[in-house]
Amino acid sequence: MNNLIRVIEQFKNKKILVLGDVMLDKYIWGDVSRISPEAPVQIVNVSKESYAPGGAANVANNIAALDAKSFMVGVVGKDHTKEQLISDLKKRNVDVLGLIEDENKRTIRKVRVFGRSQQLLRFDYEKRGYVNADTENKIFGFIEKNLGNVDAVIVSDYAKGTITKTLMEKLIALCKEKNKIIVVDPKPKHRDFYKNATLITPNHKEAYEMANLAEEPEDADIEMLGKKLLEEMNSTILVTRGGKGMSLFEKDGKITNIPTFAKEVYDIVGAGDTAVATVALALASGADFEEAAIIANYAAGITVGKVGTSTVSVEELKESIENA
């Protein structure tokens, strides 16, 4: 435990570059006490609205909340949502110089409606499709220029178009050349983009899809699943399994199953973002894969105890580990 605390205390000295699909999350909060006379739907009496960085931007937000320096790289449209997102990220001490404006895209916005603490509805505003070659080159150019100043790279892929095969091939080769950690939060449709990354962190469902298995394996088959992915991706694999914790598969053949540390689960939104942010920070701070996974598991356990897209502080993380 003391070693885990020592790792966490190094977070403040680290710089992490986050590449991925940025979004703005909007929350509409209110009370529900009756059904509409116009249609069989609930009426929400709105009491407040709030905003938070979403998608890859939430990963960058988690990095900043853990006292590290966070650099956000992604694509935004030329719209009001971009201005709101940039303003919000700046307030949270996230560097936004790597956000590339593309007139062919719109800044992704997700609007969630809550009746008290129960999510009732979600609206998505987005324009899917891969970025064009010009935007792709601008993204890689920014990373190439700034990679020497960071300790690790996180790729947060939501399959909205920022992450392309060419971009990932060039990025992984560059990270290998510069001896930089690269951690990927994947989408199964892009599995072949991520080969040779330092660490890949699929959830259980994503893992079996990436392994091309017909159905989700039972607990007894998790070993087979992890070994198959490790061999095919040539990367260390960390499978996040919700209430069952995490399973870590390392290249030397070591397999570690880590139980969940969540005490109460209110909302799983953003838990994966917290986990990937924390595991990358821990690796950059000198942790081995097992130590990094344990720290990330504690962080995710804290996040699911909060409603909405949320972050974890260094103080909360240290307290959770000390009180375990």
pTM beyond cutoff 0.85: yes
CA separation, residue 191 to residues 168, 186, 252 (Å): 11, 7, 22
Band (pLDDT 50/70/90 cuts) for residue 217 is: low
The string of pLDDT tens digits covering residues 222-263 is 888 999 999 999 999 999 887 788 999 999 999 999 987 655
| Structural domains present in the chain | 2-322 (3.40.1190.20)
- As given in the structure block, the two tokens for residue 106 are 């719109």
21 flagged as catalytic: no
**Lowest-confidence region among 14-28, 76-90, 212-226:** 212-226
Annotated catalytic residue, options 25, 88, 185, 273: 273
The string of pLDDT tens digits covering residues 16-72 is 999 999 999 999 999 999 999 999 999 999 999 999 999 999 999 999 999 999 999
Q: How far does Cα 324 stand from its chain's mean position?
A: 25
Q: Identify the CA nearest to 73 among candidates 106, 96, 50, 93.
A: 96
For residues 120 and 32, the answer to whether their CB atoms sit within 8 Å is yes
pLDDT value, residue 214: 63
Residue located via tokens 């992704």: 108
Tell me what the mean pLDDT of segment 176-197 comes to. Answer: 97
Q: Which residue has the higher pLDDT, 263 or 304?
A: 304
- How is 84-112 classified by DSSP, letter by letter? HHHHHHHHTTEEEEEEEE-TTS--EEEEE
pLDDT value, residue 267: 42
**The pLDDT of residue 268 is above 80:** no
For residues 185 and 59, the answer to whether their CB atoms sit within 8 Å is yes
Which residue type occupies 120? L
* Helix (H) or strand (E) run with residue 189 in it: none
User: How confident is the prediction for the chain on average, in pLDDT?
Assistant: 91
